[in-house]
Chains A and B, each alone.
Chain A
Amino acid sequence: MATCSRIGGGGHSMDKSITLPPDEIFRNLENAKRFAIDIGGSLTKLAYYSTVQHKVAKVRSFDHTGKETEDEPLYEISVQEEITARLHFIKFENAYIETCLDFVKDHLVNTETKVIKATGGGAHKFKDLLEKKLKLKVDKEDEMSCLIKGCNFVLKNIPHEAFVYVKHAEPEFRFQTTHPDIFPYLLINIGSGVSIVKVESEDKFERIGGSSIGGGTFWGLGALLTKTKRFDELLQLASRGQHTSVDMLVKDIYGGAYGSLGLTGDLIASSFGKSATADKEFSKEDMAKSLLHMISNDIGQLACLYARLHNLSRVYFGGFFIRGHPVTMHTITYSINFFTKGEVQALFLRHEGYLGAIGAFLKGAEEDNPNQYSWGENYAGSSGLMSVSPDMFPMQRTRSGTFDMLEMDRLERQLVNLPLLLDSSSYIPDTVDLTEDAMAREYWLSCFEEALDGVVKRAVVSQPDLQDARERAEKFRLKYRHKLQTLRHQPCAYGSLTVRSLLDTREHCLNEFNFPDPYSQIKQRENDLALRYFQKVVRSVEMLNWEDRQFALVKGLLAGNMFDWGAKAVSDVLETDPTFGFDEAKQQLQERPWLVDSYSKWIERLKGPPHKCALFFIDNSGIDIILGVFPLVRELLCRGTEVVLASNSGPALNDVTYNELQILTERIAAMDSVIHSGITKERLILVQSGSSSPCLDLSRLDKGLATLVRERHTDLVVIEGMGRAIHTNYYAVLRCESLKLAVIKNSWLAERLGGKIYSVVFKYEQPAK
């Protein structure tokens, strides 16, 4: 291995060996095509596009014509291989470049690729090596345009990509909601120099300014002043220093503040103003700190002048000077606040280090039209943001010396905002930000950790015929537990930590080890069972008078929602008592008045004219959808309301998937004339949400759904279940009527909301007039 020039100072001697087996880093190389590489001053970022073959659970209806036997299952479950596209980005130190290229070469089998897109300052230097090792022609791409392309891509595709940094706050990272319209913005790239780029659209950007005083100045001048070689050591020195012994402050000149100008005494009047003397020695720390302030302030000032001139309020900072260093993020933030008096916020990016590589890759992949798809960060395959703060997380510091990965899955469908959101730019799906709420974080992290055994067990059981199921399930356990541990130390690793992100991460990890749908059989069994009771339930409801019927339907929906394998309390009951039935569930329900109870308002509304069209985000398979949701859907149809049932595109826990829903609806239609006519007249429509999560992000929904919602003039949105209506969307404000329904199946959460387990939330809202 090439010796790298790094010195292990301050006890931070980093492990130079590759800490993970290379096949866990350079994954899916067999099918890799379209390579891009961004070689910076110290880090290399390799990008490739590959396909992942993974198992997906499919359901297929049996041919039921004629016979129908009692023991035959409702539908057939099959596991199929599916190929999906995935982007891999790997970051490693330049010192490993040869080793890595060798590994890549050895594992490249199926590629027809002839070129590798290259960018970054080192692209030139390593050109020959790349061509020799990979036998690919190096095709150089302009650094800045790659950076911009990459920046656009992450801003569009990764929720919580951008954040504000607040030192000493809990959390330090304040993630920004993804704004649907990312343009225009200012990107300040602080590499060895500074480039200030105004980005107006996908293809239109302009370098409006720059400065030669940048990261190279900090490094070069810092090295001269302190005899310290490495950039991050300089930052460490700076973080320990006192700039006031080197800088001349306003109070050094005025004795206090310069009040008439509003300049406080602590303001730096002259950087290094006190060092103009031969008789004093200055400490390395103090000089480094003073230098850091000088450069950060200068850049912040220029950024503000340009932001003001071009009237831009979104200003992102990147480049090696920033790259996750709390020290520089803080000084830049401070400077921006000072110069704009808080009008402009300094924004940083979680995947800032990958922008060049992503951009270079996109340039080479234009024929695949990557911008036409939506992409999602794969939590299982991505390392997440690691703090490189030396004092905060000493344990993780070593990681920055090794490998960092980002994987993005191409989603089947393009995702857009729900058009009914009142204000998409301020919409935040998640109810509780666990990065802010330490108590809740502690609870949920423990909760997910405790539930892990059960999930592993479920996963093994779901694949009785596969020999390696146990082994894979254990791998899943390790991976997910590791993620949980990472999140304990660094809650902001993947953006805002939420119950949704914990759930999604678990799904990603299960998929990673080929457990595409551990609940498929359970869902099948419960669907089958529930179908048998459907007519009985409908009949019993029909006997009731109008008012009682409305209440029975709501109660039925709530009781159905108790059957939820996603909630630990319930899955324990279901696990031990499989006969736990619909009626028992009804009895367990909280009596009115419920924890949140706007039922009376709802009933009053129902006495009025019917809704035009109701969009229904459904939750679980089995009793929930069949005995809870469908009777209500039936009632709505009878009232003259069209119904759009939105279900998950892919599996998550026991949530009903789009495929399953199609079969179930078909079966119910066969039994029920109302549903049947609804389907045939297209007054009942099934759509997929585009999601594979137990929660719901209304800003990332299938484009088809959004179109339908618009076409049908949807005026009621029903959101059902803890995941979709409590953990997410509880505070979502829509421009139409909305109904959020859930049973709180978690005693901790119930208590937190001021209730008890199985408390009911019935939140009916009308838009403000």
Chain B
Amino acid sequence: MDKSIVEQNGVGPWCANALENVFHSPQISNDTCNASSTTTTSTSGGTTSSSNGTTEHFQHHHQDLHGSPAKKCRLRRRVDSGKKNRPPFPWFGMDIGGTLVKLVYFEPKDITAEEEQEEVENLKSIRKYLTSNTAYGKTGIRDVHLELKNLTMCGRKGNLHFIRFPTQAMHRFIQMGRDKNFSSLHTTLCATGGGAYKFEEDFRAMADLELHKLDELDCLIQGLLYVDSVGFNGHPECYFFENPSDPHNCVKKTCCLDNPFPMLLVNIGSGVSILAVYSKDNYKRVTGTSLGGGTFLGLCCLLTGCETFEEALEMAAKGDSTNVDKLVKDIYGGDYERFGLQGSAVASSFGHMMSKEKRDTISKEDLARATLVSITNNIGSIARMCTVNEKIERVVFVGNFLRINMVSTKLLAYAMDFWSKGQLKALFLEHEGYFGAVGALLELLKMTDDF
């Protein structure tokens, strides 16, 4: 809806730019850019990159920040006014994944008149652009329902916005950053996810932007703990399903993630990472699987010709996987009692598709559903094994695969409950895929180390 309105408007103040698709870039006069960029050319010129490639797993302290964007940040602060121990606006945290880029943006709502005056034009335009739209270009989306309101971060009050766009559009995003002279704002761009590494050079070369690269698992955990601690606009961030084994009475219930450790954190993005988290900064990656959200979407595209995650999920919601999968009862006529396998259990995912007749008559919806169910069950099964091997009784599922994906969340809840005989509860978080980006933003704010 929002998207179409923006596109109909066509030439609104933020749409004049020819760079469509990602963001309709804010219009900024070149003069302003040049003016502000002159102030820090010297600092941004010395591009010493931070050495984030060797992050340790268990103790995550970024002490050595000399020459890092943070140092530049401090330098600029002194140049600016020296009155605030916080990084200059805009505050972004970015998580560049294999499929999606997740961007969180802190919109200050306590801007004083004086600040408003001082606020450089392009900074203002960015703020206005981001907060007054819910869709950016063809593929950028702001998840309005996730917005965290009246948040105090680093002494400032404001709203946290959650924005995502496909990683495929990354280059257009960088180009926009260049065209709008983002580097003149001298903000530190804290980025995590593989793309922080992959696109680092592009940011530098195309837009003169230095990324402050952060480990994605560090960010994930910090972001998750933070969002959980601030809550979701007065409600708990966390939820689970009551009666997971009873489809009619299975209901979503919120809960608190108090005393969350140790927890098994299953992050389902394009692929899946499974972490055992023992405390705020003590965790290990237990394992991972390449059968994740990317696999679901990739296979669905190939099997059904769909193009988006939403489309794939929509089809899946209508489909019936038992037309595709071979169940225990299809093989044994009923339960396989010798091994306590229920007749309704899936014996072979896509097993019916070995038969040509069945292939010829199967619907796209059924295929999409079967793909979703296979991938979800598989993740559930691996997660379940990890909880046993790691002796952890709490499992939290996050990642954008779970976005608008009630089929999977319920299935995971059911699987955990079933295989643990009720011992294990699957927990979910409302901000599914954004914790990495939030974690990156938190790193930016941490740079306000005081002297």
On A, residues with C-beta under 8 Å from B are 41, 121, 124, 142, 144-145, 191-193, 195, 207, 209-217, 219-221, 223-225, 229, 246-248, 250, 252-256, 258-261, 268-278, 282, 287, 294, 297-298, 301-302, 305-306, 308-309, 339
Contacts and interface: CB of A to CB of B under 8 A. Distances in A.
A287 B302 contact: yes
Contact of B215 (A216, A217, A260, A301): A260
B128 interface: no
B19 interface: no
Contacts of A260: 53-57, 215
Q: Which of A212, A252, A297, A306 has the most CB of B within 10 A?
A: A212
B298 interface: yes
A4 B326 CA distance: 23
The 9 residue pairs across chains A and B that have the minimum distance between CB atoms: A220-B353, A272-B298, A270-B294, A253-B194, A216-B348, A255-B198, A273-B294, A220-B350, A216-B351
A273 B98 contact: yes
Q: Which of B199, B215, B299 has the most CB of A within 10 A?
A: B299
Q: Which of A209, A215, A224, A309 has the most CB of B within 10 A?
A: A224
Contacts of A253: 97-98, 193-195, 198, 270
A282 to B, nearest CB: 7
Nearest to A272: B298
Contacts of B271: 248, 268-271, 273
Given A142-B338, A144-B338, A212 B348 contact: yes
A276 B371 CA distance: 13
Given A247-B290, A271-B298, A213 B349 contact: yes
A277 B350 contact: no
Contacts of A248: 98, 270-271, 294
B297 interface: yes
The binding surface of chain B is classed by DSSP as helix
B349 A301 contact: no
Given A121-B331, A246-B298, A272-B294, A211 B270 contact: no
A359 to B, nearest CB: 14
B307 A193 contact: no
Contacts of B293: 270
B107 to A, nearest CB: 29
Given A254-B194, A259-B53, A272-B299, 5 more contacts: A142-B338, A212-B348, A224-B367, A250-B194, A294-B291
A217 B347 contact: no
Given A211-B381, A259-B54, A271 B291 contact: yes
B354 A273 contact: no
B291 A192 contact: no
A224 B378 contact: no
A302 B385 contact: yes
B352 A220 contact: yes
Contact of A214 (B194, B294, B331, B348): B348
B285 A221 contact: no
Given A192-B348, A211-B378, A278-B305, A255 B53 contact: no
A214 B377 CA distance: 13
A224 B353 contact: yes
A309 B387 CA distance: 11
Contacts of B356: 223, 229
A145 B336 CA distance: 12
B295 A273 contact: yes
B79 interface: no
Nearest to B308: A276
A220 B325 CA distance: 9
A290 to B, nearest CB: 9
B351 A271 contact: no
Contact of B303 (A121, A145, A193, A224): A224
Contact of A220 (B270, B294, B351, B386): B351
B339 interface: yes
B359 interface: yes
Contacts of A306: 385
B313 interface: no
Contacts of A121: 331
Contacts of B385: 209, 302, 305-306, 309
